[in-house]
Amino acid sequence: MDKSAAFDKNTIEFVTVAAEYCAFLEQVSDKTPARVVDVLSKLLPLVYLKATMLPAVEPEGLYMEEAVTEADYGVIRMQLAQILGENDDYLEVFVEDMKYSDTPVRKCISEDLADIYQALGNFVSSYRSGLDEVMDEAVAVCADGFRTYWGQTLTNTLRALHYVRYNSDQELDESSVYD
């Protein structure tokens, strides 16, 4: 395994953005719906961009501890669902099951954001270990998860957030949004 992956410039930038995403969601309970949509509409493209730039690393198959518990996941998901309210649900078209269904697939922004939080939170926690082999494995696992699952989830969720921000019939409290 290339030992420099953990200290690659692109990895460091990804860690920074991933940690910012996690920190924002961990403090989301005191944010307005408009603020949440505004920040996430800006953070998610950065997460996506930085994930595409992670160095190619082959996983070694090391055991990676899951730092984000079911309870952590549930709290984040529920807080986001409460904040987003009626804006939480959206219809998804990029789902494998959609090929065989005549009915749309309902998804929740809150669940998608919590899924991304789980992947990034586990990555950041492993990266913070300071152990080269654990950090390299965290990069490999996170990059693989991005390619196979949470990258598509991120783009789908961003599309839904864009709709909420610019087209939704549900009014968002704009009073606390700032750039």
pLDDT (tens digit per residue) in 7-21: 999 999 999 999 999
Q: Is 91 helix (H, G, I), strand (E, B) or coil?
A: strand
Work out the pLDDT band at 107, boundaries 50, 70, 90.
very high
88 and 40 in contact (C-beta within 8 Å)? no
The domain covering 5-58+67-166 belongs, at the CATH homologous superfamily level, to Protein of unknown function DUF5063 (1.20.120.1550)
Q: pTM of the entire structure?
A: 0.89
**Cα–Cα distance measured from residue 65 to residue 60, given in angstroms and rounded to the nearest whole number:** 14
**Range with the lowest mean pLDDT among 113-122, 124-133, 140-149, 166-175?**
166-175
Q: What percent of the chain has pLDDT over 70?
A: 86
105 and 91 in contact (C-beta within 8 Å)? yes
| 76 vs 93, higher pLDDT | 76
Residue count of the chain: 179
pLDDT at residue number 134: 94
Q: Which residue type, as a one-letter code, is found at position 49?
A: L
Q: Over the stretch 150-163, which tens digit does the pLDDT of each residue have?
A: 999 999 999 999 99
59: tokens are: 């996983």
Show me where the domains of the chain are located.
5-58+67-166
Calculated CA dihedral for residues 113, 30, 17, 38, nearest 10 degrees: 70
